[in-house]
Structure 1
Amino acid sequence: MNDDTRDNKASIRQARQDDAAGIANVHVRSWQTTYAGIMAPLFLRSLSITQRQEAWAANLNAAEEGRYVLVLEQEETIVGFVSAGANRQTVSHPRYDAEFYALYLLQSAQGQGYGRELLRRMAACLQRDGYQSAMVEALKENPAIQFYRHLGAEPLAERTIKVGGTLHKEVTLGWQDLSMLV
């Protein structure tokens, strides 16, 4: 994917290996703001950009065909990202062939249409690889649930998971037709 979505403020492009630190920063900082008041403050403070950077470096290094990471940059700084690929939950959700693994934006980049554009661009990548439908999972308390619903995602399931030593409800939503996002 080229760096061809550019306006005065931002650009979206395919992630490179040297983006791991920027992606990790967004990942940790967005958790700390999104889940403040939802998750234990001690747990949120314990999140490590260094550990996430190592994980993202490995993830970007092991990138495979049909699996994508796109980054959103403002003034050459990564302020958001989306990752997606094959559905990892095929047993519980076999009707959905793709999955949005993560969509995170720094608080300063939220509410400006960038999340929608990241999803749109990622849906186009997935469709080019032959994927037809996609699902996403998010904690029920996450405001992104309403964002996904607004973009046409339908609730599929809910389960209890443990994050940071605390039980939380996780919601699975899906788009039966990726063209709804493109």
Structure 2
Amino acid sequence: MSHSHGGPTADVSVRVAWADDAESIAGVQVRAWPDLYAGLLPADLLPTDVEAVAAQWREALARPADARNRVLVALERNRVVGFALTSPAVDPDCDPVADGELSEVTLDPGERAKGHGSRLLQAAVDTLAADRFTRAVTWVNAEDDALRGFLTDAGWAPDTAHRELDLDGTGSTTVKQVRLHTAIG
């Protein structure tokens, strides 16, 4: 097996997800969620069964509800280390033709601070532009200073919209979120 010495970026990439990636994406999600929702969700509400999560991904990748629902994966060599989701924005005050949504950017907890997030974000914005959206929105947990700072540094800004998500359907576990937006295209 030959090893390339083309520098640190030679073996990293972002591409559109394939149905075969379902298990890898599910693995990233199951590993990342305890971290993302630490202190917000009781542990027993977090998915732990990679196979069950993978089945949902396989379905979504095989039959997207909308042609503009996109799943992107960040790769190190051929290993999925993160994923991003883009789609038409669904908020009532958004225009589903002009406004796209970045609904998730999730990295494997062991793969942070290696540039994957920046590459995924750039690819997501490029994808939204290719789908002819002119503005992108994304929701972030109000407490998530790291993600908010990452997006702000990339040119996103709060658009004053905010919401409270009911995480378990009972109203006892809620999280405050703020919406950020950026012009694209």
Please tell me the TM-score bracket, short chain as reference: 0.7 to 0.9
**Does 2:90 align with 1:88?**
yes
Pick from 142, 164, 180 the counterpart of residue 173 of structure 1. 180
Deviation at 1:66, TM superposition (A): 2.5
1:20-39 equivalences under 5 Å are 20-39=22-41
> 2:75, 2:99 → 1: CA distance?
29
CA distance in 2, matches of 1:42, 1:144: 25
Residue 37 of structure 1 aligns to a residue whose secondary structure is coil
2: CA distance, partners of 1:29 / 1:138: 19
Match of 1:121 in 2: 123
Contact 1:38 1:141 in 2 (8 A): no
The 5 A counterparts of 1:12-161 are 12-44=14-46, 46-63=47-64, 64-89=66-91, 91-94=92-95, 97-142=99-144, 143-156=146-159, 157-161=161-165
- TM (normalized to structure 2)? 0.82
Deviates more, 1:22-31 or 1:57-66: 57-66
Which amino acid in the other structure matches residue 56 of structure 1? W
Count, aligned residues: 171
**Unaligned regions of 5+ residues in structure 2, if any?**
1-7
- What is the Cα-based RMSD across aligned positions, in Å? 2.1
Distance 1:168 1:82 in 2: 21
Secondary structure of 2:113's aligned partner: coil
Larger radius of gyration: 2
Moved more, 97-106 or 142-151: 142-151
Shift of 1:120: 0.8
**Matched letter for residue 103 of structure 1:** V
Q: Deviations over 1:121-154 (max 9, x none)?
A: 1211221221111001122222312211221211
Of 13-22 and 153-162, more deviation after overlay is shown by: 153-162
Q: Secondary structure at the match of 2:39?
A: coil
Please identify, of 63-72 and 100-109, the stretch whose mean Cα deviation from structure 2 is larger.
63-72
Q: Residues 82 and 106 of structure 2 are in contact (CA less than 8 Å); yes or no, is this contact kept in structure 1?
A: yes
Give the distance between the partners of 1:174 and 1:52, measured in 2 at CA: 29
Task: Report the Cα distance in structure 1 between the residues aligned to 2:176 and 2:140, rounded to whole angstroms.
Answer: 9
* More displaced 10-residue stretch of structure 1: 29-38 or 74-83: 29-38
* Cα separation, 1, equivalents of 2:48 and 2:140: 18
Runs of 4+ in 1 over 4 A off after TM superposition: none
SS in 2 for 1:121: helix
Identity of aligned residues (%): 26
